[in-house]
Chain A
Amino acid sequence: MHGTKDKAAGDFLEISLERIETLLKGDYNISRRAVALLLLQGDDELTSLTTATESPETSVEIAEIAARTKAHYQEPLAYLIALRRQEEVNRIVKETVEYRPGTKLPLRERLSRIMTNPVTGTPLLFLILYFGLYKFVGGFGAGTLVDFLEIDLFEKIVNPFVERTFALLIPWPVFRDLFAGDYGIITLGIRYAVALILPIVTTFFLVFAVIEDTGYLPRLALLIDRIFKKIGLTGRAVIPIVLGLGCGTMATMVTRTLPTKRERVIATLLLALAVPCSAQMGVILGLLAGSPKALLVWAVVVITIFILVGYFASMIIPGDEPSFYMEIPPLRLPNLNNIFTKTYARVKWYFVEILPMFILASVLIWFGQLSGLFRLLTKVLEHPVRWIGLPDNTAVAFLFGFFRRDYGAAGLYDLKKAGLLSGNQLVVACITLTLFLPCVAQFLMNVKERGWKTGLAISIFVLFFSFSAGYFVSQVLGLLGVYL
């Protein structure tokens, strides 16, 4: 604003600014003028800082100047200052920038229009989801890579080696099981983390980084804003929600970027309930891969629940309707370096966070089985499981599901391989498990971000809702005589 100084000499705002500048004595690491500007605009943080730093008399004087300046103008000072700043920017730009717009729309602009036009953008979204998520994450990540790591690496090499080694090392079967049994730290915990979750999450984060880097996400946000408004969110929420398809825990943390508390609560609820994480989705896609009809039923039910629960949540949770605004940056070719850096950082974060959780889960399962606690909890869970028409031993998958959602889905995988589930049962199990309580990590994140009351309330709701939805679907399928 220095440039406007001469022009605005004698101007009320300018005089007030200069007077505040001379009054300030403390060191704020930014220029006195910047401090004075913020004070006039009523910045809370800086006001309390200057009140603490300056003498009481000075603070009172500054407050008086600010009040008088405010009263002098009809418009808010923040608005006036923005106007002046704009004038100054225009002056500099005029002197320094020469701009000759081309006559033809550049390719990137035409591509952008294709993405944001609902007629062309919607099919494009499905193409991206199909190739990016279904083919690459589901097919390559959860299929090819998992098969290789799971079968060729763990089942053929690591597990037999670990079993043999621990059989020699630890003579007591009870402690041997802690490391090498059916639910051992290495044979189960590390196997799931490395062979199942790592490839799925890595491929997801790779796709997400590419999509993020091109500038597609803001375009998706504007495309989807109207629908998201119906569930109390804005287009801005696509970022945490899409990220939730990767990792719900990370996505719950990212809900911080949403501007109001209401939006944050709704997004957290939907992430906990109806947004399956990549690890879970990978396993579910694998489970239902043989039957496209079953996959369709699963997808339709989960999407319907996402919209209905969001709709009712937006009716119930108090607060203002949010407004949507977003800058649409130009489309760019993704930068390989960016993509690898981002993917690496996210996978690393995930792995550091997840591996101890898997090991802890293995230890808890071992302890739970040893003490009989698990048998008790499994017995309790068998009731709702039976209620939704599933065999008793799926209760184990649900119980493990709490330690890690994907862990539970992976448990179902073993049951399917053993041929214990019919098509309908498989769909009901997948739906219930998708909706079921988030993993321990996401539960902790819910509590951390939303507080005890809300975090716990969301979890209890999700617990009851998931089994009710499973019951409902199994009844409807039965009544309609559908066998998938």
Chain B
Amino acid sequence: MRFRFRGNPVKNTCDNILPLAKLKVGQKGVVAYLQTANRQRLQKIMAMGILPGKTITLLQKFPSYVFQVGLSQFAVDRELAEAIILQDVDRIN
């Protein structure tokens, strides 16, 4: 089973949709939805306040994914970074 949770305000869904893990360091995107077959992972992502509409900046990819969301920074592993799907990558600066 695969959960695909769409957030409310999603415009232009076909533009530059990418998982966080595929971004380049320094790129930004807006969270479109969270995609994971694992409920615990979903819970963890939500606990970090990562929800549709939030802007995320990728700061580092190796050895872990580090990103900025709001005024906070988080580190996650690849599995979690794959589950965070962003849109409008590159469009916003």
User: Chain A interface (Cβ within 8 Å of chain B)?
Assistant: 75-76, 78-79, 82-83, 86, 99, 113, 116-118, 218, 221-226, 229, 234-235, 321, 323-329
Nearest Cβ on chain A to B57's Cβ, whole angstroms: 11
Nearest Cβ on chain A to B66's Cβ, whole angstroms: 6
Closest to A117 in B: B60
- A229 to B77 Cα, complex, angstroms: 10
Q: Which residues of B sit under 8 angstroms from A86, Cβ to Cβ?
A: 49, 51, 53-54
Nearest Cβ on chain B to A322's Cβ, whole angstroms: 9
Chain A interface, DSSP helix/strand/loop, else mixed: helix
Nearest Cβ on chain A to B44's Cβ, whole angstroms: 5
Verify if B76 is at the interface (C-beta below 8 Å from A). Answer: yes
Closest to B77 in A: A324
1/0 contact trace for B18-41 toward A, CB 8 Å? 000000000000000000001111
B51 near A326 with CB under 8 A, answer no
Nearest Cβ on chain A to B28's Cβ, whole angstroms: 13
B77 near A116 with CB under 8 A, answer no
Closest to B7 in A: A83
Nearest Cβ on chain A to B89's Cβ, whole angstroms: 20
Q: Which residues of A sit under 8 angstroms from B76, Cβ to Cβ?
A: 323-326
1/0 contact trace for B42-54 toward A, CB 8 Å? 1111101101111
B74 near A323 with CB under 8 A, answer no
A222 near B63 with CB under 8 A, answer yes
User: Would you list which residues of chain B between 48 and 79 have a CB under 8 Å from chain A?
Assistant: 48-49, 51-54, 59-60, 62-64, 66, 71-77, 79
A82 near B46 with CB under 8 A, answer yes
Q: Which residues of B sit under 8 angstroms from A78, Cβ to Cβ?
A: 43, 46
B63 near A226 with CB under 8 A, answer yes
Q: Which residues of A sit under 8 angstroms from B75, Cβ to Cβ?
A: 116, 218, 221-222, 225, 235, 324-326, 328
B73 near A328 with CB under 8 A, answer yes
Closest to A122 in B: B63
Q: Which residues of B sit under 8 angstroms from A118, Cβ to Cβ?
A: 62-63
A75 near B60 with CB under 8 A, answer no
B73 near A325 with CB under 8 A, answer no
A324 near B51 with CB under 8 A, answer no
B60 near A116 with CB under 8 A, answer yes
Nearest Cβ on chain B to A294's Cβ, whole angstroms: 32
Among candidates A82, A222, A321, A327, residue contacting B64 with C-beta atoms closer than 8 Å = A222
Q: Which residues of A sit under 8 angstroms from B79, Cβ to Cβ?
A: 321, 323
Verify if B80 is at the interface (C-beta below 8 Å from A). Answer: yes
A327 near B48 with CB under 8 A, answer yes
B43 near A226 with CB under 8 A, answer no
Nearest Cβ on chain B to A38's Cβ, whole angstroms: 15
B44 near A323 with CB under 8 A, answer yes
Q: Which residues of A sit under 8 angstroms from B5, Cβ to Cβ?
A: 75-76, 79
B64 near A324 with CB under 8 A, answer yes
- A118 to B62 Cα, complex, angstroms: 8
> Could you list some 6 contacts between A and B, CB below 8 A?
A75-B5, A82-B46, A222-B64, A323-B41, A323-B77, A327-B48
Q: Which residues of B sit under 8 angstroms from A75, Cβ to Cβ?
A: 5-6
Among candidates B39, B59, B63, B77, residue contacting A325 with C-beta atoms closer than 8 Å = B77
Closest to B41 in A: A323
Closest to B45 in A: A325
Closest to B43 in A: A78
Closest to B74 in A: A327
Nearest Cβ on chain A to B68's Cβ, whole angstroms: 9
Verify if B8 is at the interface (C-beta below 8 Å from A). Answer: yes
Q: Which residues of A sit under 8 angstroms from B51, Cβ to Cβ?
A: 82-83, 86
Q: Which residues of A sit under 8 angstroms from B39, Cβ to Cβ?
A: 76
The 7 closest A-B pairs by CB, nearest first: A222-B75, A222-B64, A328-B73, A324-B77, A226-B63, A325-B76, A86-B51
Q: Tell whether A222 pairs with B66 under 8 Å between CB atoms, given A75-B5, A324-B76.
A: yes
- A326 to B45 Cα, complex, angstroms: 10
- A321 to B80 Cα, complex, angstroms: 12
Among candidates B42, B63, B73, residue contacting A223 with C-beta atoms closer than 8 Å = B63
A326 near B80 with CB under 8 A, answer no
A79 near B48 with CB under 8 A, answer no
Closest to B47 in A: A325
Most buried by B among A82, A226, A235, A323: A323
A225 near B74 with CB under 8 A, answer no
Q: Which residues of B sit under 8 angstroms from A235, Cβ to Cβ?
A: 64, 75
Among candidates A83, A99, A218, A234, residue contacting B77 with C-beta atoms closer than 8 Å = A234
Nearest Cβ on chain A to B58's Cβ, whole angstroms: 13
- A221 to B66 Cα, complex, angstroms: 12
Among candidates A225, A234, A326, residue contacting B63 with C-beta atoms closer than 8 Å = A225
Nearest Cβ on chain B to A89's Cβ, whole angstroms: 8
Among candidates B7, B54, B66, residue contacting A328 with C-beta atoms closer than 8 Å = B66
Q: Which residues of A sit under 8 angstroms from B53, Cβ to Cβ?
A: 86
A225 near B60 with CB under 8 A, answer no
Q: Tell whether A326 pairs with B43 under 8 Å between CB atoms, given A83-B52, A86-B49.
A: no
Q: With A78-B43, A223-B63 given, name 13 new contacts (CB 8 A).
A: A82-B51, A99-B71, A222-B64, A224-B63, A225-B77, A234-B77, A321-B79, A323-B44, A325-B77, A326-B74, A326-B76, A327-B48, A327-B74
